[in-house]
Structures are given as structure tokens and as C-alpha cells.
Amino acid sequence: MKINIYYGGRGMIGDPTLYVMNKMQEVLKELNVTVERYDLYEIKNNITALPQTLKDADGVILATTVEWYGIGGWMQQFLDACWLYGDKEKMSKIYMCPVVMSTAYGEREGMMNLNAAWEILGGILCTGICGFVADISDFEQNKQYARLIERRTEDMYRSINQKAVVLPCSNQAVKQKVSFTQSLNLTPQEAEQLSELASDDDYVQKQKEDIQELASMFKDLMGEKEIEESNLFVEDLKNHFHPQPGFQAVYKFYIPESAKPLVVKVDNVEMECFYGTVDKADVEMQISLEVMNEIIQGRMTFQRAFMAGSMKMKGDFKILRTLDILYAFQ
């Protein structure tokens, strides 16, 4: 028989979970059980590869310490890796004993979370150990507590040895019907390879760089496309321009469908129209593509669009009114 222990605490001196784990290891070794222990805080960069260590395990002990709230990030990361990369068929035959000790509050909730997670993964539960420890010295010297830990460990051994049957639970139904991750249909061997790659920092970094390079290429292509399409409304405004002697103004149109604002510069009889940026505009407008088309086709004016709330503006209202004189589309 082989049992793996996964410890999700920080390994601090005085952590009551360490005492419980050591006691359980002593009992299991007396029963000739092979015990493999994984301290997640020491291998935090390779947690995603740990599900493959379940292949030859008959049982697991998930042990963590609640220091303020929850089961801790490393234990959660391990469970996430089991869901994403673990062999679900193998896990369905593995017995799990939760160990959650608290120095604050929430040990029962923590154990319930571990139980629920393992059931959703398809595994089998054993009776766990949870408790609040205010004084580690008193806890370690209490013989009744030590005997309780020994009994729970022996119960786990018997459950695995006798292949104890448990009744079905709703969490497993959730796994089958609701909590279905949209993922690739991978074989256990492919999932194992994927978990190894996910834990390889160099490989992940290289993939990120490749994705960035591709994104940059597509961005450049889209930028070229935007430049080609940036003549929208420009010719219409140039063809319908009616200069007003002595009038100067800069208009900026923000059209949501366009990546850049439409800028119109009027200087007496000269007019410049383009998509880009300008340091300062006398009037800035927010207008939709639909409303702009209505104006260009002569069915709406700039002033009416503003009064109807179809266009928002910031700046001098008199200069805005002049737009309908400069551009008579009707």
C-alpha cells in the first residue's frame, strides 16, 4: 500500500498540522505502508506536475493549516492541477483523508472544502481530522489527542485495505452533469505531458513570447486595415465644405467604431480632414456611426443631433452651430 501526503501549509515552527502529519506517518510506517510526502511550499513552481504522482497511490492525505481563512493557495493550486491534468479514472479509486488544523478560525469549513473538492474529482473520502489549536505545547502533550490521531490513521488504513464502499453523493453528480470543464479530450499520458509543460517556466515564458509576437503581427495588419478604411466621411466632408471667410476652428469627432478620432481643421477657405490626433480642439463630439451617416445623408443636422441627445459635445456651442453652415448636406 502507498499513501501520499500533500502538505499545503507554510512549514512554520509550531504548525499543529506538522505534528498531526508526523504522527500519522509513524502509524503508517508501523503498518508497512509506503509514505511519500510532498511539501507544496517547497515545490510551488512545480505544483502543476504533481497530479502524475497520484498514479501509484492507493490513498492520499491532504493536510493544510488555516491561519486566517481558507485552505491556502498552494493546496488550492494542487486541487486545480488535479482537475485540469489529473487522471480522473485513477483518482476515482483513491481514498482521501483530510487534515485541517486551525490557529484562527475555519477548520471545519476547510475540511468541508477539501471533501467537496475530492468528491467532485471523483475520489473516495475517509474520516478526516480537524481541530483548533491555541497552544501547540498543550496539544502535543495531550495523549488523548495523540490516540485519536492514531485511530483515524488506522481507520484510513482499514478503508483502503478493505476497499470500503461509500454511498454516492451529489458532488459526483455535479462533476458528471454541471461542472464540466470545456477542455481537450486528452488521454492520461497527454494530460501528464501537459502538466509537465505547464510547470516548466522556460516553456511557459517562450509560449508567452510567441503569443505576443503573433499578437503584434496581427495588430500591425489590423493597423494597416484601419488606415485603408480611414477615409470614411473624409471625402463627404471635403465635397460639402462651404468656407466661411475669417472663420477658424478645430473639430474632433469620437466615433466608437473608429480606433482614431476624426479631426476637421477649418482655416478660412482651407479645410483639412483626417483620422488622427490633435493637441487642442475647439469642439469635441461623441457620435455614433449611425448618427453620422444620418447627417451625411442630409436627414439630420449636427445641432439637431445634439439637441436630441444623439450626440454629446464639449466646447463652444456657437462653434458647434457653425458646423451646419460649413457643411450643408441637405
Burial 251-272 (b: 16+ CB within 10 A, else e): bbbebeebeebbbbbbeeeebe
Sorted by where each begins, the domain ranges of the chain are 2-198, 200-229, 234-326
Class of domain 234-326: alpha beta
Domain 2-198 has CATH 3.90.950.10: no
Summarised one tens digit per residue, pLDDT across range 28-83 is 999 999 999 999 999 888 898 899 999 999 999 999 999 888 899 999 999 999 99
pLDDT at 317: 86
- pLDDT reading at 223 higher than 80: no
Summarised one tens digit per residue, pLDDT across range 2-19 is 999 999 999 998 999 999
Summarised one tens digit per residue, pLDDT across range 279-321 is 899 999 999 999 999 999 989 999 889 988 899 999 988 898 8
CA pair distance 179, 196, nearest whole angstrom = 24
Amino acid residing at 138:
D
What are the φ and ψ backbone dihedral angles of 131, each rounded to 5 degrees?
Answer: -175, 160
Percent of the chain with pLDDT over 70: 85
